[in-house]
Amino acid sequence: MAKTIIAFLAILHLAVVGRTHDFEAWSQGLRLTGIKSEQVTDLHFYFQDTVSGTDPTAVRVAQATGTDRSPTLFGMVMMADDPLTEGPDPTSNVVGRAQGIYGSAGQNEVGLIMSMSFAFTNREYNGSSISVLGRNLALHPVREIPVVGGTGAFRLAHGVALAQTYSLNPVTGDAVVEYNVTVVH
């Protein structure tokens, strides 16, 4: 019995020591890659979603048989490469691009699922990106969408994006959406 307990404690000890070493290697790795401590960055930009015309930046790539009969376009899948701009005007400075997929995942309410990278090109964020993944109740005044990761300046990012429709053309479906993103990285 005592032997069993000692063997068990030895294994437990090994497991704990093993984990500590892993953590040290991990935190040392972070130091080596230049990551110091967490910081919070607030980003503000406008998402230009153009679905109409001869040069749309978001295109429908799939749908279900019932999508066109659904009031929420349930089953629609869009692929987007939308410019992110400094101001609401589509001709204002481009600060990045929103690349990825959004689709209609709600049957009773317009509820988009967004799975996108916001890849930035301006100033110190050039080449850095954040990953946005979550539900977007597009007709609500302000939506909250999780930020689940990032690259470059935004390595190990987590945070939240607040989205608010700035304008929506009911005929074409083109929309401009204001974003305030808070990123911890």
| Site for ligand NAG, rule CB under 6 A | 44, 121-122, 126-127, 142, 162-164, 178, 180
Measured distance CA(135)–CA(62) in Å, rounded: 19
The number of angstroms, rounded, from the C-alpha of 77 to the middle of its chain's C-alpha atoms is 17
Closest approach, Cβ 180 to ligand NAG, in A, equals 4
Measured distance CA(114)–CA(171) in Å, rounded: 23
Both tokens assigned to 147: 């930020």
Closest approach, Cβ 92 to ligand NAG, in A, equals 15
> Under a CB-based contact definition with an 8 Å cutoff, are residues 65 and 184 in contact?
no
Of the two residues 59 and 142, which places its CB atom closer to ligand NAG in the complex? 142
Both tokens assigned to 4: 């069993």
Of the two residues 81 and 178, which places its CB atom closer to ligand NAG in the complex? 178
Both tokens assigned to 171: 């005929």
DSSP assigned state of 50: -
Residues 6+ apart with CB under 8 A from 137: 106, 109, 110, 111, 112, 143
Of the two residues 143 and 185, which places its CB atom closer to ligand NAG in the complex? 143
Of the two residues 6 and 142, which places its CB atom closer to ligand NAG in the complex? 142
Both tokens assigned to 83: 């410019």
Closest approach, Cβ 146 to ligand NAG, in A, equals 15
Amino acid, res. 13: H
Of the two residues 67 and 121, which places its CB atom closer to ligand NAG in the complex? 121
Chain residue at closest Cβ approach to ligand NAG: 164
Closest approach, Cβ 82 to ligand NAG, in A, equals 16
Closest approach, Cβ 95 to ligand NAG, in A, equals 9
